[in-house]
Structure 1
């Protein structure tokens, strides 16, 4: 037994262990490479999927922004139409008011005075004219205040000048403001169908 040589067996066992070691290392490296490749593929797939979702969201957002712009344009068009309709309704509702205004101005005008100009801004009416006396101007203002279509007459300026045609006659230049009252009828228009305007005599004061 003392002369038994175990060197060849040990060498063979050592080679076998080396093979097993390298096989294990190779297997581990291959497994690690497979894991890395799988993880890379998974991440790449996730990135591509997220990019597709981002592109889809971008496309949808652009479509929604386009729709929003179209809606804003439609809203602007609708508002413009509503504004035009309101203007038309306002014109229709105040259309008879001009006739009533002129009628009231003429009917309330006493003898011995006349108007030179009439200007209107919204419901404020500015009158300029000439009168033979202060009493006629006062009478005219009282008649305007008594009208159901006019109120709040206010005398601004009055001055005395001789008549250009007859120097013996002194005329009073006057300027006064009066407020126009708009009354709505059943049809929504300014009307006097249900308002009886008191008759005014054309006699002077």
Structure 2
């Protein structure tokens, strides 16, 4: 005889499938949560590593910027020292220039010409004086032009005045101070250039 199952087997099968589905869903969600957690940990590890590299680079940038500032300070100090050395060297070279200049002032003065004042600003000489005549002033200018220590005489002012019973020429004369050694070096340097 045929067996007849009167139990609700379809209902039990449906419940079993639902239970299996729920277990599989929980397992999939747990696996997904583990994968998300692992991905998060991986990303966080990369972020931490990059932040570490960024911090290292920032530290190195600050260090290099400090070194750049120190280099600029050293270059500034170097430029100041070079400028001082150049001034000292120029003073050393021009030390005998004053002696030669005074000597040349005496040598270039013709008879009948007297200086009242003499000023020097850089390489510019200004001489004020009195001469017995305009011809004596011209002779003085020729003597200055022939001097190795002075050049380019320019007559600024000349006035004829009466001084006592004599007529005199009161003059202001400008000239350039020249160092024959440096002038010779300059002319040799320009000759070698072509």
Residue 2 (structure 1) shift: 5.9
Residue 184 (structure 1) shift: 2.3
Q: SS state of the match for residue 74, structure 2? A: helix
Structure 2 counterparts to residues 1-16 of structure 1, below 5 A = 4-5=4-5, 7-16=7-16
5+ residue gaps, structure 1: 189-205
5+ residue gaps, structure 2: 186-194
Residue 176 (structure 1) shift: 1.0
1:184 aligns with 2:181: yes
Counterpart of 1:49 in structure 2 is 49
Residue 72 (structure 1) shift: 0.8
Residue 140 (structure 1) shift: 0.6
The runs of at least 4 consecutive aligned structure 1 residues that moved more than 4 Å come to none
How many Å separate the matches in 2 of 1:6 and 1:81? Answer: 114
Which of these residues, 153, 165, 170, is aligned with residue 167 of structure 2?
A: 170
Q: SS state of the match for residue 181, structure 2? A: coil
Q: SS state of the match for residue 184, structure 1? A: helix
Counterpart of 2:192 in structure 1 is none
Counterpart of 2:132 in structure 1 is 132
Residue 8 (structure 1) shift: 4.2
| Higher normalized contact order (CA 8 Å, seq sep 6+, divided by chain length) | 1
**Structure 2 length as normaliser, TM-score?**
0.86
Structure with bigger helix share is: 2
How many Å separate the matches in 2 of 1:34 and 1:17? Answer: 25
Counterpart of 1:22 in structure 2 is 22
How many Å separate the matches in 1 of 2:7 and 2:122? Answer: 125
Counterpart of 1:76 in structure 2 is 76
Deviations 1:136-175 (A, max 9, x none): 1111111111112222111110012232xxx102221101
How many Å separate the matches in 2 of 1:172 and 1:68? Answer: 65
**Structure 1 length as normaliser, TM-score?**
0.82
Matched residue pairs, number? 183
Structure 1 range deviating more: 1-10 or 105-114: 1-10
How many Å separate the matches in 2 of 1:35 and 1:183? Answer: 91
